[in-house]
Amino acid sequence: MPIVHIDLIAGRSQEQLKNLVKDVTDAVSKNTGAPEEHVHVILSEMATNRYSVGGVLKSDEK
């Protein structure tokens, strides 16, 4: 049972998230031989004020 964790910044549409999990599921199934119904994808969305790059919060970027 493959489990895939994806961390991303919040803000994507429901359609984008649906497409993402479908594409990831397809790729994992294809490359591992696991049936799609056994592939688990966990999305963790972060607020922009909870993620930084180079010491700058994404919420502070212009």
Digit-by-digit pLDDT tens for the chain (62 residues) are: 999 999 999 999 999 999 999 999 999 999 999 999 999 999 999 999 999 999 999 999 87
Hey, what CATH topology would domain 3-50 get? Macrophage Migration Inhibitory Factor (3.30.429)
pTM of the model: 0.87
Burial annotation 3-16 (CB, 10 A radius, 16+ → b, else e): eeeeeeeeeeeeee
Look up residue 27 and give its two tokens: 């790729």
- Domain ranges in the chain are 3-50
**Residues 1, 2, 29, 56: which is the catalytic one?**
2
Query: What pLDDT, on a 0 to 100 scale, did the predictor assign at position 62?
Result: 74
Q: Is 35 one of the catalytic residues?
A: no
